[in-house]
Amino acid sequence: MNFKNITLKDVAREAGVSIPTASRVLNNEKFVSDNVKKRVKAAAKKLNYEPEWTARSLRLRKTNIIGVIIPNIADYFFSSIVLGVERFFRDKGKDIILFNTSNDEKIEEKAIKIAISKRVEGIILATIYKNGDVIKSLMKSFGTPFVVVDNKIIIT
């Protein structure tokens, strides 16, 4: 089965409008007539259009994603944290990306770096590091806000 990525250009063509007009409609911007809004939204629905996440996040300079890094998803305490965090941020229009480190410091460090490379807007971290120097170093190196749970790391 061959699936084609539906682009904004396809939606604009289907609706009979320009690409900037289709963009304004789909981004809920002003100065578009109701008739045009209906046509563009109908075209987007008919074509099953979904905006390209990476392009949108680059343009808006935000991803609406929060990184959650925990040591063990099977642990009731940590799975409860994940459920609460996911519920809280869903109501705010944000998604989470979850990293399970399997109680491994190397995996935890890699997860932090991956989350930062994905440009998450913040990281909720249940670190297993007893010595917080590595975490402190990562926190200072990047502008990503961290919240540490179930541990204490003192930043000086």
Give pLDDT tens digits for 108-129: 989 999 998 888 999 999 988 7
Which domains does the chain possess? 8-51 (1.10.260.40), 60-148 (3.40.50.2300)
Q: Across 45-91, where does the E strand assignment appear?
A: 65-70
pTM above 0.75, yes or no: no
C-alpha pair distances (Å), 27 with each of 30, 31, 39, 135: 9, 12, 15, 38
- Which one-letter amino acid corresponds to residue 111? A
Q: Given this model, what pLDDT does residue 1 score?
A: 40
CB 42 within 8 Å of CB 54: no
Low-confidence residues of the chain: pLDDT under 70: 1-4, 53-61, 130-131, 152-156
Q: Given this model, what pLDDT does residue 63 score?
A: 81
Residue with tokens 């100065």: 31
C-alpha pair distances (Å), 133 with each of 53, 100, 101, 130: 34, 21, 18, 9
Q: Which of 42, 14, 13, 40 is nearest to 25 (CA)?
A: 40
Q: Given this model, what pLDDT does residue 30 score?
A: 82
